[in-house]
Amino acid sequence: MREKVQAALEQVRPALLADGGDVQLIDVKDGVVTLRLTGACGGCPMASMTLKDGIERVLKEQVPEVKEVVAV
């Protein structure tokens, strides 16, 4: 499942990079994906919305086993 999650993240990465940020996959366990937003995304006030409304939505579409996405 980690490989599927990584592949899905590659689809959202260009949008994050365009805004000066990036995403790092930390862990995948029991359907919970742990990510770290870096660069400009790490301190952005909209980071939680990016995580839930953007990244989590794409991951759930691409990898149905994903239950939740959390940030560290």
CA atoms of 21 and 13, how far apart (whole Å): 9
Looking up residue 57, the CATH number of its domain turns out to be 3.30.300.130
Instruction: Calculate the average pLDDT of the chain.
Output: 93
Domain with 17, as residue range(s), is 2-71
pLDDT in tens, 10-24: 999 999 999 899 999
Number of H helices, E strands in the chain: 3, 3
Structural domains counted in the chain:
1
Q: What pLDDT does residue 20 have?
A: 93
Q: Which residue has the higher pLDDT, 43 or 57?
A: 57
What pLDDT does residue 43 have? 83
The alpha carbon dihedral of 24, 26, 28, 31 has a sign of negative
Taking only the tens place, the pLDDT of each residue in 22-49 is 999 999 999 999 999 999 988 888 888 8
39 in Cβ contact with 21 (< 8 Å): yes
